[in-house]
Amino acid sequence: MVPGIPVPTYLSPVQTNAVICMWDGATRQGSHSAGGMVIMTSAREILGVMGVQFQCIDDPLVVEVLALREAIWWCLEHGFSAVHFEGDAKVVIDKINRAETGDTRMGVVLEEVVSYFAFHSGFSVRFVGRSHNKVAHVVARKALSLLPIACRVFDFRAWLNSRM
């Protein structure tokens, strides 16, 4: 638990064999943006924390989709096949759940994300309010504050644990 950041309470129970991946995007003037991801068990035990930066992207919706794509890749890379993705980007989540890919702002990245959810039956995505997504938001803001090379080697999990 991070002081001052409530552990989310969920509206509906998640499968006990599934993990939860919370994600968020963050932007700053000057086309600098980042994503934060936290994987946890259904019992809220943190399994992993990651931050990633995106260069030359300042559209918040595009940043959210890119952060979700990174979260999906990260979960697949670690062998998770049942994942409940949770974020606070309602527009993005609604488009994914409706398999709506015609948005030119989010373009092929949105199409790619929608295809992951269509192909992986154990994946789901749902909206949680900002107050329930604060841990991922804090990680995204931290990633945003780092130099690009530092973001690649920064130990986000240790940093987050030090704040608990």
- Average pLDDT over the chain, rounded to whole? 83
* Region 86-109 average pLDDT: 86
pLDDT (tens digit per residue) in 131-148: 899 999 999 999 988 877
CA neighbor of 7 nearest in space, from 162, 134, 160:
134
Paired tokens of 31 = 């086309």
Q: For strand 83-87 and strand 32-41, is the pairing parallel, antiparallel, or unpaired?
A: unpaired
More confident residue, 52 or 58: 52
Query: For the chain, how far is it from start to end, CA to CA, in angstroms?
Result: 5
pTM for this model (two decimals):
0.83
Query: For strand 32-41 and strand 46-55, is the pairing parallel, antiparallel, or unpaired?
Result: antiparallel
Which domains occur in the chain, in start order?
19-162 (3.30.420.10)
pLDDT at 8 over 60: no
Average pLDDT over residues 14-24: 80
> What is the structure's pLDDT at 15?
52
